[in-house]
Structure 1
Amino acid sequence: MTVHNPPVQSLKERLAQLKPTKWSLLKLALFFLPLSGALVTFGAGDVLAQSINLDLGDEGNLSGRVVQMILLITVLSLAPSILVMMTSFIRMIIVFSMLRSAMGTQQSPPNIVLVSLSLFLTGYVMAPTLTAAWEQGVNPLIEQQIDEVEAFNRATTPLKQFMLTHVRDKDLALFIDMSGGDSATANPADVSLTTIVPAFMISEIRRAFEIGFLLYVPFIVIDMVVASILMSMGMMMLPPVMIAMPFKLIFFVLVDGWNLVVGSLVQSFGTAPPGTG
């Protein structure tokens, strides 16, 4: 059997084959170079002809405008914290995190899914409150009917009412007393946000832990049953957590767990989920 090797091309022959390709690419580049330069020059004329003007008012109001701009940037940077502190997001995300821990699914659902679900549920629960805050405070400010201070007071009033509805009296009294007031005679409507917000937060954390405890109980029972069966069969080296996880998942699916958990969370804020009633 004779093997015929293809003839080996010399370096000169390879360069001769590549010359037409190189010249074609060079011609193409030389063609597009002046064209792209013309387009850049033509487009730059309109861009350079424009200017950006930042009008801060006259010299007398310059300091006030600068302070307003700094306050606006500060509020925008603190918007995520405000979302966490003054809404139902705290209870939602803690309950979902504890549910995942109780099921033992590690990172499933992932954090981004739990946070997204909590955000959408927060928007659903807080929709009436945020709508009232917009209509009472933000919209009149946009139409220049009120100033910034009045808009802030009006916009925070619905949020204060929401927090006062769900805060525990004991937690609110704790912060009123620590701020130097008298919780026995204080009017909750006159309490400042700096007192209501921390009281509301610890109240939400407490309720989230209560719900988390109720979620943990059935899954702990499944773990105990599986561990007892494995020990009775002499399979002590087999991890009960790995064996119990499929039973936890099928149990949660059969009882329609997500529907029950989400519905109970939303109804705990006094809001009926869509499709009920």
Structure 2
Amino acid sequence: MKKQNLAIVLMLASAICILVSLPSPVYAIDINQVTTTSNNIFKNIGGGANQYINTFLLMTLLSVIPMILIMMTSFTRIIMVLSFVRSALGTQQNPPNQVLIGLALFLTFFTMKPVFTDVYNDAIVPYNQHHISQQQLLDRTENRFKKFMYKQTSQKDLDLFLHADENNLGSSKSVPKNSDKIDLSIIVPAFIISEMKTAFSIGFLIFLPFMIIDMVVSSVLMSMGMVMLSPMVISLPFKLLLFVLVNGWYLLVQSLIQGFQ
């Protein structure tokens, strides 16, 4: 046992001697060389640094666009109403999600066209012509979207977030009549709540006629003793027929468009 321990000690001592006798490692990093190289790189970039920053900001903006589209436009109400229509009809996956989202996007672009046009003419064009600064571009864009959201938001929802704000907590401050004076962090959640309330109100009106058809079909089946037959199977063709006869998609899209005008 002592011989084994002695052999291990000798092997470790030999390894240490070999490592000590070796010259400095060839993979050692020269800090001065790294610093010089990085300085040369940034020196060669020069004025192109702003271009890299602008590209980074653009990519960041592209990642936030879906959230902006959902939270600050008419997309929320439209997609919820279309989902209510599919649920009321009981057609499961028809129309498919891709069709509903595509229709909601195009209706959003149509209803938001005045807002996008004003932003382009009043903010983007002057900025490209170097007539306004980047901060003015953001302010004008924000104010135009806040003006749109303010028209679609109920005063009660705005009052809720104004008084829940830590700066106005416990105050009796009334809702400003000018949307420019309302912070974006206050008007956006109030707008979302109002949009969901409006969508649920429309959904209730959509469900009513189809619910009546389901009740009539269920009563007829019960009176005929067909308990094992699902009323949904029988009522589905009648609901589709009613929806087609009254030109349901036309009335639905018409009401959605007029609701934002």
TM-superposed deviation, 1:192:
1.2
Give the corresponding residue for 2:16: none
Secondary structure of 2:47's partner? Answer: coil
TM-superposed deviation, 1:150:
1.0
Letter in 1 for 2:121: E
Letter in 2 for 1:125: T
Contact conserved, 2:214 with 2:231, CA < 8 A, in 1?
yes
Distance change (3 Å), C-alpha of 1:95 and 1:55: farther
Secondary structure of 2:79's partner? Answer: helix
Task: Identify which of 227, 239, 252 aligns with 2:230.
Answer: 239
Give the corresponding residue for 1:154: 140
Letter in 2 for 1:234: G
Letter in 2 for 1:156: E
Contact conserved, 1:133 with 1:157, CA < 8 A, in 2?
no
Contact conserved, 2:158 with 2:186, CA < 8 A, in 1?
yes
Aligned residues: 213
Contact conserved, 2:159 with 2:174, CA < 8 A, in 1?
no
Considering Cα pairs closer than 8 Å and 6+ residues apart, tell me whether 1 or 2 has the greater RCO.
2
* Root-mean-square deviation (Å): 1.8
Determine whether 1:184 maps to 2:170: no
TM-superposed deviation, 1:185:
3.8
- 1:222-267 superposed Cα distances (whole Å, 9 cap, x missing partner): 0000000001001000000011000000000001101111101111
Give the corresponding residue for 1:201: 192
TM-superposed deviation, 1:73:
2.0
Give the corresponding residue for 1:25: none
Give the corresponding residue for 2:101: 115
CA distance, structure 2, for counterparts of residue 82 and residue 56 of structure 1: 34
CA distance, structure 1, for counterparts of residue 45 and residue 218 of structure 2: 72
Give the corresponding residue for 2:9: none
Give the corresponding residue for 1:57: 47
CA distance, structure 1, for counterparts of residue 163 and residue 46 of structure 2: 43
CA distance, structure 2, for counterparts of residue 111 and residue 209 of structure 1: 19
Contact conserved, 2:163 with 2:173, CA < 8 A, in 1?
no
Give the corresponding residue for 2:73: 87
Task: Identify which of 56, 65, 71 aligns with 2:57.
Answer: 71
Distance change (3 Å), C-alpha of 1:219 and 1:56: farther
Give the corresponding residue for 1:219: 210
Task: Using structure 2 for the length normalisation, give the TM-score.
Answer: 0.77
Structure 2 stretches lacking a partner, 5+ long: 1-43
TM-superposed deviation, 1:186:
5.0
- 1:96-146 superposed Cα distances (whole Å, 9 cap, x missing partner): 001100100000000111111111111111101110011111112222222
Query: Could you tell me the percent identity over the aligned residues?
Result: 46
Give the corresponding residue for 1:102: 88
Contact conserved, 1:100 with 1:109, CA < 8 A, in 2?
yes
Secondary structure of 2:226's partner? Answer: coil
Secondary structure of 1:106's partner? Answer: coil
Distance change (3 Å), C-alpha of 1:92 and 1:186: closer
Task: Using structure 1 for the length normalisation, give the TM-score.
Answer: 0.73
Secondary structure of 1:78's partner? Answer: helix
TM-superposed deviation, 1:70:
3.4
- 1:143-199 superposed Cα distances (whole Å, 9 cap, x missing partner): 222221110101122111000001011111111112122563453431111111111
Secondary structure of 2:233's partner? Answer: helix
Task: Identify which of 111, 121, 128 aligns with 1:125.
Answer: 111
